[in-house]
Structure 1
């Protein structure tokens, strides 16, 4: 068998495995659901295992649904989130007794999963503001969900918790963010009182190459970019960055580069100086 989760009793009845093989060659992910003992289950595999555990009736939701829709930055070790009323949920699984309208879930990868808009409705109502916005950004980057669709769901569930929190997160949502740190950086700039930066700004260098800047203000040609570890650990990436920055300088872009060690105060001061140099 491959590494896909399966219901043990069904596999035994079909003669695909023996009881001995089931005990020794497979690992029980959730009660009655197994996977190859050699596999480290991914989020997708765990989601399918949870769906099988629910007798193929549950609806995958929350961060798990976001991962199935293509959101990045979701740890495989996250508990699976499933809309399925069960007070005795097994370890590694979160179950919720939510009310869903028919258009709030759909079939994906052969399972029932909350739609991108419903997933955004759930994610945007919980956690701190920065975390909620980062999760919405990641989901939007993968699906380009509509804010209006999310607000329509909110209007439908007026008594749900966290609606004010959701509205605030949606107001800051930007699907152009390509990492949680880019979301964090954008929120730092907004909180500092700068005009809301535009994300993924296109710029054509002297060579004719097209570049995309993380965020900034096109009218004054000031950009702010977050440099992750790949920029310093990869020699090819470093060389590419040097050439890219030279081209951007030639077309008169100021690029403020931010790394993990920079404090918020330092970032704000540097961006303010860069903007002022263009506004004088």
Structure 2
């Protein structure tokens, strides 16, 4: 009987050791807009892919954590984070003064511009030409913040319309319901590349900004570990490798 008990205990203990060695210590849930190509979006098979998705997977592996990606309403991203429905916002999240008051950020890892896109052949050539025009952007985005930060320009628009994502905004531009689009350069240029000759980018823009990963302000330990992982990825050339896959060059800061 003692031998049977001892054997049984050995089996249980070996199973526990296997579980302890093989399983990640924790799962982190990352919130994203799943139409924000090439940062995080769905491929033709419906799989979540993109630059930020690859970066998050690599960082999570280095932290020995399981990662889950959760599409969210981008307009409610801070609420999703602070209500603990997600643990991070990692999807081309611009670092702004307003957001810094609500959430914590990693160091910037990429610079982005807020560009103005029009249809090829448009009579809109400068920011001043937006006067009397219908302009579109994504709701809850830093693009909207950038427009509102220039009230002397925004006040001249005939109308400012917001949409759930930039795919919808560009569609509205294509069919003529808006006359110009303001949005993230990395995203709009990706979609523009799919329809060469359809759009033009103005030289004028609504400013530069940096992307960072957003966490809850009190999640300082996780933020520190994540930053260390990102720093190591940069130093070892892994982030450059991921950048070249999606952008053809290393644009990581």
Into which bin does the TM-score normalised by the smaller protein fall? Answer: under 0.3
Higher relative contact order (CA 8 A, sep 6+): 2
- What TM-score results when the alignment is normalised by the length of structure 1? 0.26
Q: Which structure's residues are more often strand, by fraction? A: 2
Q: How high is the TM-score relative to the length of structure 2?
A: 0.28
